[in-house]
């Protein structure tokens, strides 16, 4: 039987266990169920392209959408579109198909470029979620300084810095800082040095996720309290026009905060399975080192990467559902006429 197409009996047939990173597939090996993972990645990627492209076009075309908050949303959509167009499909093709594995494991720069695109897309998604969370955190807890701090100029600088730093860091392996060898699986943990993976990708991503979690938990608590206070204040008359205008402005900010809390919630929901399974594989039980990782865990881990793409699909629907200006822009871009009841 040809060993290149046979199904390994367990993970130890194709893996080397590293004490500092857990179970790492060192050799390119093809499992029969990889076909399902590949199809799943492509389906999620195809489904996310239209929505994210509409979001980007809406921001660029319609001036009323060009606010600091929506610029961060546009930046997030660019990252999601990059995942759908390039990152996800390229990674899947080079790791979940036999032809792709053979091509990537024999072509150094093809592998490095695919990893560059994939990690730039992933890191931009995580970093932009942090930027969105911080922008909303300022709006909620530093409202008096919000319009001084969160300006078009400042947000544009932040967006440029985010993309410049992420691209620069992930170009380092392309210019020599890599451990690529022929016949090795084209994955960051096998091709990139451990220092790069842990210090420049895993640790910053973990810190950004933790900071975003704290910020959004605090905002969620405040949102609940605010909702209760609004309900209680309905019966209280207000004769002060300036106070009424301030409340309208504050209410609009509150609606944006609730929308972005939902976006961030979907982000964490999509990433949670991968984070949990990665943590399990990071420190494998001693029995797994002897007998191999259970097939069910390995399959779940690979399919959890597909779930990451679901986040890219959900965001445009949330913007259209919760934000009337985005919803109207989507309809115009698609050439859909709306009835009076729908508006």
pLDDT at 218: 87
Question: Nearest to residue 252, comparing CAs of 76, 67, 75?
Answer: 67
Q: Average of pLDDT values for 75-94? A: 90
Tell me how far apart the alpha carbons of residues 184 and 28 are, in angstroms, rounded to a whole number.
5
How many domains does the structure of the chain reveal? 1
pLDDT (tens digit per residue) in 249-258: 555 566 777 7
H, E, C per residue of 249-274 = HHHHHHHHHHHHHHHHHHHHHHHHHH
Q: Give me the helices (H) in 177-240, please.
A: 188-191, 194-195, 203-233
CB neighbours (10 Å) of residue 102?
15
Q: Average of pLDDT values for 89-107? A: 90
In a domain, 315, yes or no: yes
Is the pTM here over 0.85, yes or no?
no
pLDDT at 6: 45
Question: pLDDT higher for 34 or 30?
Answer: 34
In a domain, 278, yes or no: no
pLDDT (tens digit per residue) in 34-56: 999 999 999 988 889 999 999 99
Average model confidence (pLDDT) across the chain: 81
pLDDT at 253: 63
pLDDT at 192: 92
Evaluate if residue 68 carries a pLDDT over 90: yes
Tell me how far apart the alpha carbons of residues 341 and 110 are, in angstroms, rounded to a whole number.
52
In a domain, 18, yes or no: no
pLDDT at 339: 64
DSSP 193: -
What domain range includes position 249?
25-269+295-334
Cβ within 8 Å of residue 126, ≥6 positions away: 205, 208, 209
In a domain, 12, yes or no: no
pLDDT (tens digit per residue) in 8-19: 544 443 344 444
In a domain, 9, yes or no: no
Q: Is 335 helix (H, G, I), strand (E, B) or coil?
A: coil
In a domain, 155, yes or no: yes
Length of the chain: 343
Evaluate if residue 183 carries a pLDDT over 90: no
User: In the structure encoding, which two tokens stand for residue 6, read together?
Assistant: 């046979």
Residue 161's CATH number: 1.20.1070.10
What phi and psi values does residue 268 have, to the nearest 5 degrees?
A: -65, -35
Tell me how far apart the alpha carbons of residues 172 and 53 are, in angstroms, rounded to a whole number.
29
* b (16+ CB within 10 A) / e for 27-43: bbbbbeebeebbebbbe
pLDDT at 4: 41
- Burial of residue 148 (CB within 10 Å: 0-12, 13-18, 19+) is exposed
pLDDT at 275: 82
Question: Nearest to residue 122, comparing CAs of 82, 160, 161, 177?
Answer: 82
In a domain, 4, yes or no: no
Cβ within 8 Å of residue 290, ≥6 positions away: 12
In a domain, 6, yes or no: no
Q: Average of pLDDT values for 265-294? A: 79
């Amino acid at each position: 039987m040809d060993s290149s197409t046979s199904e390994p009996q367990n993970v130890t047939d194709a893996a080397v266990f590293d004490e500092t990173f857990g179970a790492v597939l060192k050799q390119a090996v093809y499992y029969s169920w990889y076909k399902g993972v590949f199809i799943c990645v492509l389906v999620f990627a195809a489904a996310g392209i239209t929505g994210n492209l509409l979001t980007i076009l809406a921001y660029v075309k319609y001036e009323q959408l060009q606010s600091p908050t929506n610029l961060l949303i546009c930046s997030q959509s660019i990252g999601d579109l990059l995942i759908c167009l390039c990152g996800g499909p390229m990674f899947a093709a080079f790791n979940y198909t036999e032809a792709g594995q053979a091509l990537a494991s024999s072509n150094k720069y093809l592998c490095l470029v695919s990893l560059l695109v994939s990690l730039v897309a992933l890191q931009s998604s995580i970093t932009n979620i942090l930027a969105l969370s911080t922008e909303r955190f300022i709006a909620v807890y530093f409202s008096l300084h919000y319009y001084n701090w969160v300006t078009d100029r400042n947000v544009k600088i932040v967006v440029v810095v985010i993309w410049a730093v992420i691209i620069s860091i992930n170009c380092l392996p392309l210019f020599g800082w890599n451990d690529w060898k022929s016949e090795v699986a084209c994955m960051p943990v096998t091709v990139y040095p451990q220092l790069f993976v842990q210090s420049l990708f895993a640790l910053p991503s973990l810190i950004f996720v933790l900071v975003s979690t704290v910020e959004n938990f605090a905002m969620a608590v405040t949102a609940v309290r605010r909702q209760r206070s609004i309900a209680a204040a309905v019966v209280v008359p207000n004769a002060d026009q300036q106070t009424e205008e301030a409340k309208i402005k504050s209410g609009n900010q509150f609606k944006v905060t609730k929308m972005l809390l939902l976006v961030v919630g979907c982000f964490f929901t999509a990433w949670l399975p991968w984070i949990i399974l990665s943590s399990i594989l990071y420190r494998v039980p001693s029995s797994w080192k002897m007998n191999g990782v259970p097939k069910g865990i390995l399959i779940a881990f690979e399919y959890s990467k597909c779930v990451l793409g679901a986040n890219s699909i959900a965001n445009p629907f949330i913007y259209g559902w919760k934000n009337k200006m985005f919803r109207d822009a989507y309809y115009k871009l698609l050439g859909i006429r709306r009835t009076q009841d729908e508006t």
